Amino acid sequence: MENPFQILDARLSNIETLLLDIKHRPQAPATTDGNGKTIFDIDEFCEYTGLSKQTVYKKTGKGLIPHSKRGKRLFFDKSKVDEWLLENAVRPLSEIAADADRFLNSRNKKRR
Q: How confident is the model at residue 25 (pLDDT cuts 50, 70, 90)?
A: confident
| Confidence band of 53 (pLDDT split at 50, 70, 90) | very high
When the pLDDT of each residue in the chain is averaged and rounded to a whole number, the result is: 86
> Which sign, positive or negative, has the C-alpha torsion 64, 65, 66, 69?
negative
CATH code given to domain 30-86:
1.10.1660
Number of neighbours of residue 81 by Cβ within 10 angstroms: 20
User: Which residues 6+ apart lie within 8 Å of 69 measured at CB?
Assistant: 75
E strands in the chain: 39-41, 68-70, 73-77
State the average pLDDT over residues 86-94.
Answer: 86
- The DSSP 8-state label assigned to residue 36 in this structure reads S
